[in-house]
Amino acid sequence: MKAAVLRTPGQPMEIEEISISKPQGREVLVRLQAVGVCHSDLHVLTGDFPQPLPAILGHEAAGIVEQVGPDVRHVKAGDRVIVCLTFHCGHCEQCLGGNSHRCFPAEANRADDEPPRFYRGEESISAFMSMGAFAEQMLVHDSGVVPIRDDMPFDRACLIGCGVTTGFGAATRTAGVRPGDTVAVIGCGGVGLSAINGAAVAGAARIIAIDMVPSKLEMAKLFGASDGIDASQGDVAKQVKELTQGRGVDHAIEAIGLKQTIEDAFRILAKGGIATVVGMARPDTRIELPALAFLQERKIQGSMMGGVRTTVDIPRYVDLYLDGRLHLDQLISRRRPLAEINEAFDDMKKGELARSVLMFDA
């Protein structure tokens, strides 16, 4: 099969012919139909995050099940599925406590003494996020494979596998936005726009979109933003306080992952407000917060994949889209074939698009 293989950080990926193993145990072989291009992949591509190389990146995927291992029960060949990176064991403290998205068990990958899932001759090829979705096929643990309705388009479905779930869930599950709340979202890429969408569905009275790209601020209105702030026009905290008559916001959702924007998320909170950090920061990022602000009961917290419960939430997100409440059509800025994977990342680096999607032949 064809796959985009990263061999050297900072260098373009090459389309190579590689081999994929047959499923064993709880593994599922999926023929991919659509894959989103996410910033997390870019962090590995540029070398900001470590990953054994050579590797196949990509983790925002939808496709059709081709074959299942002997221990798989909930999906079968021919099923249309979304694959979510929150693989889980189902029996640990986190899983039994309703937080399966925090699990990441060893069984999500093959053991060192087992044949690799991806290989080329004698060379083993690693899979980013235990997925490796920039390929025609993918072999994954069944806990991340969720069957979906036949009327759900693949190019929209794949976005639910990571970015949409991360942003929408950050607002509705992690932050717990309630009707009447005031919410600010910093960063209006795919994740930030989905957070705005989630806040709107949750009933937020006011949603402030913050970005440095005017076109993204305009797009944010389509997802439910009531106000926009151009971060390039001065101090963000000052602009938010002016917009809210000095009060600040009940919730700030940070969807970039920079020291400055994380600190801004905390600075713009009202008394008792909560900052939820979604953006993927570099491992060496350190933040500085004013300690006295904690006396006003301000809080800061992280969010992992929007707290998703895959088998419960992902089908609900599909239903929300088909009911017209989850905005996925507007997220897709460009569709490309696998052969144009490097061009898709060039688009991302320009910072002007919401999401590019790689399309495979049906």
Tokens of 149: 């309705």
Across the beta sheet with 206-211, the strand order is: 227-230, 206-211, 182-186, 249-254, 269-277, 299-302
| Residue 43 is a catalytic residue | yes
Tokens of 185: 């979202």
Q: What are phi and psi of 65, to 5 degrees?
A: -65, 130
Q: Which of 39, 141, 162, 333 is catalytic?
A: 162
* 3-state secondary structure (DSSP) of residue 300: strand
Q: Which of 19, 21, 39, 59 is catalytic?
A: 59
| Residue 38 is a catalytic residue | yes
| Residue 74 is a catalytic residue | no
Q: Which of 39, 43, 101, 327 is catalytic?
A: 43
| Residue 91 is a catalytic residue | no
Measured distance CA(90)–CA(191) in Å, rounded? 27
Q: Which residues of 212-221 are buried (b: 16+ CB within 10 A; e: fewer)?
A: ebeebbebbe
Distances (CA, A) of 207 to 227, 228, 261, 302, 311: 6, 9, 17, 20, 29
What is the identity of the amino acid at 42? L
How many H-runs (helices) and E-runs (strands) does the chain carry? 10, 19
DSSP secondary structure of 59-75: -EEEEEEEEE-TT--S-
Residues acting as catalytic residues:
38, 40, 43, 59, 162
